[in-house]
Amino acid sequence: VFAKGKTGAFIGMGWEAGIAIKANPAIEKEIGYFTIPGATADKPEGVFLGGSNLAVAEGSKKQDLAK
């Protein structure tokens, strides 16, 4: 949706912009980054990383998935 120009912004990880640019190279010079707005203009929100981390448990029978 972002790569097609159907939305003005999205909250995501930095690498996600590269995926959008790969899908539509014409947007590369039209996009930028900014911090998530906070309660006041001089205090942005903290970094958001929740829910995007993956792990394989030490005792898992699927250790090959961690490589």
Tokens 């959008």 found at? 20
Q: What is residue 67's DSSP assignment? A: -
Name which of 31, 35, 32, 39 is nearest 3 in CA terms: 31
Block means of pLDDT (10 residues each) for the chain, length 67 residues? 83 82 92 81 72 73 83
Instruction: Note the pLDDT of residue 22.
Output: 94
